[in-house]
A and B are shown apart, each in its own frame.
Chain A
Amino acid sequence: MNSDLNVSFELDGKTVEVQAGETLLAACRKTCTEVPTLCHDDRLDPYGGCRMCLVELEGAPRPVPACKTTAAKGMKVTSQSPMLERVRRTMAEMLMTEHTSGNGVQVDGLEECAKELGVGAMPIKFENPRTWEDRNRFLAFDPGACILCDRCVRYCDEVMQCTALEHVGQGSEAFIQPTDGASFLDTSCELCGGCISTCPTGALYEKQATAPIAETEATRSVCTFCGVGCVLDIHTKDGKVVKISSEEGSGPNDGHLCNKGRFAWQFIHHKDRLTHPLVRNAQGELEETTWEIAYSRVVEGLSAVKKKYGADSIGFLASSRCTNEDVYALQKLARSAVGTNNVHSCAAT
């Protein structure tokens, strides 16, 4: 980047340099200055709705949201002060009071933030009479946990461009719902689950999830459903998948997934999974057997054909969904162990 495109300004008494167009929040993160955020997602347009990220700007009448303020030359910014601390605690306390329920399926960013600031809900009872049911099997919504930050709505509008969610009503009457209050299955929703991934409170969560996130172990891997190769995290508990998610910045997909990557994992534990080797018996039926017998049948079968017709009468076919290592081994089996170059896969593209 050309240096005259850079902007230098003062942050907490130190001079910092960022690229033109970057926000004060980006600058804070670069210098490892802790500024809490809730409504901000790097993948969405700057919004400035929750006011958790307020900072002081010299000459400005009031604190400004760091996530929505573009750094400019010569600015003097204070990110930590007793006043800001007070404001942040008040904001967090109010939001915690609105946030009346939680389910633990997702990491609760609000609760973490409040804990960090040492506050909890105010001792007043906040009623949220709204309940929500939907017949789709992937997306669940808990209105009591929602703080109306609009991240889900903005994700659906800006990233998916599906406009399948809306923020309706005002003040204490406001709520989030699928367009026109319909089921997700009857709207333009594509069941990508991106709204879940951006929700900072866990109000939107995976219906299929079988355990709280805190009890799961995450394994980073790659989606197997198409050539985009999205990086994802498989959350498991007791040898079962609980849910699949993806972390922002972890791969070429930057935390985005489609409905297949995020939700199509039921097949892993499906009752139709093969659990034993099978061989065809004299009646022409497949029956369970041991690995030993299965292997010897394969060796016999391949050797007999090779002896009778030659190695080039045997063909090897690999799925383009196997790993590189599996496929390498298959072509080596064909070429080295059997002696033929008849190896190919289904799609030539």
Chain B
Amino acid sequence: MEEIENTDCMLVVGSNTTEAHPVLALRMKKAMRKGAHLIVVDPRRTWLAERAEVHLQLRPGTDIPLMNAFAYVILEEGLADNTYIENLTENFDEFAAAAKEWPPERAAELCEVSADDIRKAARLYAKTDKAGIYYTLGITEHVCGVDNVRSLSNLALVTGHLGRESVGVNPLRGQNNVQGCNDVGNNPVYFPGYQEVADPEAHAKFSKVWGKELSKTPGLRLDQMMDGMHDGRLKAFYVMGEDPVVSEPNAKHVESGFEQVEFVVCQDIFLNETSRIYADVVLPSTCFAEKDGTFTNSERRVQRVRKALDPPGEARADLQILHELAAALGDDWGPADPETVWNEFADYSPRFFGIRYPRIETFGLQWPCPELDHPGTKFLHEGAPMRGKGKFYGLDHVPAWEEPDEDYPFLLTTGRTLYHYNAATQTARSEGHMDKQDRCFVEIAPADARDLGIEDGSDLKVESRRGVITVQAKVTDAVHPGVLWMPMHFAEARANVLTGDGKDPEIGTPEYKVTAVRLLT
């Protein structure tokens, strides 16, 4: 994280960093004070965008053509790092051919930005030696989320901006422990430590460790589980700390799915929409201040979480609940001690083997950390890309799952704000935070507001093919005409009532970022 301060050029794509990752943004602010160039690619004029040398205020969902146009300029003007491409990459020709299809003028039209700005930004990024790319959900929450990320990695490869300090393609993860969740095996195709369920050796290993013949069938991804509730594949749900009825797209579809499920358990610190209506059993658990354990932040640093308080009433630590339940199901795991559990994970996950509680007492360690005396790994892809050679991809524009049309003429995109967190079950319980933002709003361009006779602060119905919600109008030139922006935090005005079923075909990440809607005053 500290390497951001030393970068000379930041290309920030689809990330409203100052609101979604405020403290990380402080490093960016510091780099800006030291004179680093800043390029922002975002449909909204964010805090960073306002201060950027170039702000490409693109139409949501057109990232790939834009990045291809960057590549076009880099190749056309001889700004590519040919030595790097020759020695450390593969599939360059396919990529170059795809980039050729997108001269800046063509991309400019589709993306609704200026061709000169594309050229300027591409040059800045390519010509600065220490240039890094930073992205978040703005790039991944699309039907083409995986390809969007590839289009960014293409840029890093073609300029050789990889494997050194302050360069690379850096994902900024949304929730606090997304990284750790994946690391420890909360994934239908991976056992802990990214060992594939389909790999016979990994299967044999974990079957032996847990003393059970484990299932060889890869599991369902979240989006498949949501569909599975409808097609009969899924009959019971165990939900720990989540509120899928609020957080998953196409809320009506999720709700009617839950109607059909036979048995639901929710383990959480508050009742939420899902548990209130659908849970058969609710187990009261603990918040972060009431337990011991670890979180892994977005730079892969494993850090200690420590218990400062006892849980309220009869609430129990999540780990204790899970151990007691396992025992009740006939699977005895021994005492529910966080360090013992971590050690079991690390013992059988080579990339994490060297990380142990005593070593992270005062400062966290970054994995990979394979040995007990390994210092941890600051940069992935050091020297050369991890998979041997960096692979280029030839990519083309992927239209959004649902584009605006005559009936639903506005493009709605969603995001996060500084004062709330996801479904806001916690921040909405802080009066001081509600002082700043107490209800859901939708940002609309002054020209659109004028056309429709909408006044700043008035109530407005936003309707998609799936549902309708009422929010407050916020008239601002932070968004372009034709585009609306709305935060996703508010339970009484759920953006996900509107969002659709579009998702990335490879990993199932839902498209929260493009929905066609109309406005009713």
Contacts and interface: CB of A to CB of B under 8 A. Distances in A.
Contacts of A291: 314, 316, 324
Contacts of B238: 302, 314-317, 330, 333-334
A323 B338 contact: yes
Contacts of A319: 175, 240-242
A317 to B, nearest CB: 5
Given A302-B236, A312-B217, A331-B192, A267 B287 contact: yes
B140 interface: yes
Nearest to A319: B241
B304 A221 contact: yes
A7 interface: no
Contacts of A312: 215, 217, 219-220, 233
B297 A228 contact: yes
Given A301-B281, A324-B294, A296 B242 contact: no
Contact of B235 (A135, A313, A325): A313
B429 interface: yes
Contacts of A259: 22, 418-419, 433
Contacts of B302: 324
B291 A278 contact: no
Contact of B184 (A229, A253, A279, A327): A327
B113 interface: no
A192 B297 contact: no
B433 to A, nearest CB: 6
A159 B269 contact: no
A224 B422 CA distance: 12
B171 A280 contact: no
Interface stretch (B158-166, B328-336, B442-450, B463-471): B328-336
Interface stretch (B64-72, B75-83, B260-268): B260-268
A331 B185 contact: yes
B520 interface: no
B24 interface: yes
Contact of B293 (A191, A265, A326): A326
A322 B236 contact: no
Interface string B186-220: 11110110000100000000100010101101111
Interface in B237-291: 237-242, 244, 247-248, 262-263, 265, 268-271, 275-276, 279-285, 287-291
A57 B287 CA distance: 54
A344 B197 CA distance: 14
A346 B176 CA distance: 12
B236 A314 contact: yes
B88 interface: no
Contacts of B20: 226
A334 B291 CA distance: 22
B239 A317 contact: yes
A258 B418 contact: yes
B237 to A, nearest CB: 5
Question: Which of A160, A236, A252, A294 gathers most chain B CB within 10 Å?
Answer: A252
Question: Which of A191, A321, A333 gathers most chain B CB within 10 Å?
Answer: A321
A346 B281 contact: no
A147 interface: no
A346 B215 contact: no
Interface of B: 1-2, 20-24, 26, 29-30, 32-33, 136-137, 140-141, 171-189, 191-192, 197, 206, 210, 212, 214-215, 217-222, 225, 228, 233-242, 244, 247-248, 262-263, 265, 268-271, 275-276, 279-285, 287-291, 293-299, 301-310, 312-316, 318-319, 322-326, 328-331, 333, 336, 338, 341-342, 344-345, 363-364, 418-419, 421, 425-427, 429-433, 435-436, 507-509
Interface of A: 135-138, 158-161, 185, 190-192, 208, 217, 219-231, 234, 236, 239-241, 251-253, 256-261, 263-270, 272-280, 286, 291, 294-299, 301-306, 308-309, 311-349
Complex A-B, nearest 5 residue pairs according to Cβ-Cβ distance, in ascending order? A275-B313, A229-B297, A319-B241, A323-B293, A341-B219
Given A258-B22, A313-B234, A328-B342, 5 more contacts: A275-B284, A325-B294, A329-B326, A331-B192, A339-B212
